[in-house]
């Protein structure tokens, strides 16, 4: 499995040495890898949950200096915190890999992988059995469109135009990966960003309510992405593209928290001034003790408990959760 995305699925690509240090900061995360966790979570990300269900080892970061050929064959995580579909997204936060750069990093690794195969047919079979998971788009809103003091995108594009801009660039990079021989894709939609603590706190309304305007913006992107999946499946009959309905899955959890064992839906478990929803969990900050009862770990990211629910819904869920087939069925093809 090869992963492209943002901080929701990142495991240490921005700064490898720094992420090793973060993995040792009590009480965050668990060092599942030989290297860093680098995760914005109290434990496993949704990708880790998928690895568990698929029987795969946890994926190393592309930036891991100890990444060798044997690890490459099991899969790699190219995701980058603050990275987006657009190259300009998140630039104010410093070094990060945009989707375009993540794809270039993937191409670099494939060159090494291909050289190790004696027969090209074996290499092509390896690619055809591999799965690409892409989790992108959130940062293009949070760290771009919704920051009018830093970016002009919200003045230049209507929400619908901006969604189309993102989808056009997304399509280019998806086709670039497809041209390399990958045939299985899972494209995750963006969750209800208007419901994260950061946006609740930024709203002039009550923090008890989601910001409907933001969720409407995300809706344009998600509907376009689902349509793109249908079109890609039509245009490329030898490949399979899935759409992960992250928005509805998270909306279900937010709307029925007790059903899933959650009691806190509008603030993060960790972060200085976590009730204000403005920051991520800082080193040595004291998080809540009832972490399984919180939907959000910090102002932006879900807890491990939520990630495991999302992973299971992607793995065995019906078409309402993942379309047109689920991850388990994709892996069996």
The 10s digit of each residue's pLDDT in 265-318 is 988 888 644 444 445 666 566 778 888 999 998 889 999 999 999 999 999 999
Q: Distance (Å, rounded) from C-alpha 324 to C-alpha 128?
A: 19
Q: Is residue 10's pLDDT more than 90?
A: no
Question: By the 8 A CB rule, do 274 and 268 touch?
Answer: yes
Q: Is residue 97's pLDDT more than 80?
A: yes
Q: Which of 7, 19, 98, 138 is catalytic?
A: 7
Active site residue 298: yes
The string of pLDDT tens digits covering residues 147-188 is 999 999 999 999 999 999 999 999 999 999 999 999 999 999
Active site residue 7: yes
Contacts of 170 (CB under 8 A, 6+ apart): 85, 99, 136, 137, 225, 228
Residue 23 binned pLDDT confidence (cut-offs 50, 70, 90): very low
Q: What is the pLDDT of residue 63?
A: 81
Q: Is the dihedral of CA 31, 36, 42, 43 positive or negative?
A: negative
Residue range(s) defining the domain that contains residue 187: 2-332
Question: How many independent structural domains does the chain possess?
Answer: 1
- Which residue would you say has higher pLDDT here, 329 or 116? 329
E strands, the chain, in order = 2-5, 76-77, 131-135, 184-188, 240-244, 264-268, 294-296, 322-323
Q: Which of 62, 138, 153, 301 is catalytic?
A: 301
Q: Is residue 82's pLDDT more than 50?
A: yes
- Which residue would you say has higher pLDDT here, 227 or 61? 227
Active site residue 203: no
303: CATH: 3.40.50.1110
Q: What is the pLDDT of residue 284?
A: 63
Q: Which of 10, 140, 266, 298 is catalytic?
A: 298
């Amino acid at each position: 499995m090869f992963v492209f995305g943002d901080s929701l699925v990142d495991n240490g690509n921005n700064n490898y040495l720094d992420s090793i240090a973060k993995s040792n900061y009590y009480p965050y995360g668990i060092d599942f890898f030989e290297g860093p966790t680098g995760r914005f979570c109290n434990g496993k990300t949704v990708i880790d949950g998928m690895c568990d269900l698929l029987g795969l080892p946890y994926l190393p970061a592309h930036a891991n200096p100890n990444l060798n050929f044997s690890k490459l064959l099991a899969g790699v995580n190219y995701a980058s915190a603050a990275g987006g579909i657009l190259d300009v997204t998140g630039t104010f936060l410093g070094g990060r890999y945009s989707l375009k750069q993540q794809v270039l990093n993937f191409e670099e690794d494939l060159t090494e992988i291909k050289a190790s195969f004696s027969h090209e047919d074996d290499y092509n079979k390896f690619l055809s059995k591999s799965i690409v998971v892409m989790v992108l788009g959130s940062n293009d809103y949070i760290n771009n469109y919704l920051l009018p003091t830093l970016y002009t995108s919200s003045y230049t594009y209507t929400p619908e135009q901006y969604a189309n801009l993102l989808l056009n660039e997304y399509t280019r990079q998806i086709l670039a990966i497809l041209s390399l021989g990958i045939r299985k894709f899972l494209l995750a939609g963006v969750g209800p960003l208007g419901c994260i603590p950061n946006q609740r706190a930024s709203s002039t309304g009550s923090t008890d309510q989601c910001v409907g305007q933001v969720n409407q913006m995300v809706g344009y992107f998600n509907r376009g992405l689902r349509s793109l999946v249908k079109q890609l499946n039509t245009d490329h009959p030898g490949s399979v593209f899935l759409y992960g309905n992250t928005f509805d899955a998270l909306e279900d959890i937010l709307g029925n928290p007790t059903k899933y064992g959650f009691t806190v839906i509008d603030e993060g478990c960790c972060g200085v001034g976590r009730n204000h929803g403005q920051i991520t969990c800082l080193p040595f900050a004291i998080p809540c003790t009832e972490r399984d009862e919180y939907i959000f770990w910090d102002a932006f990211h879900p807890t491990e408990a939520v990630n495991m629910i999302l992973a299971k819904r992607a793995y065995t869920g019906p078409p309402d959760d993942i379309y047109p087939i689920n991850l388990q069925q994709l892996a069996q093809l």
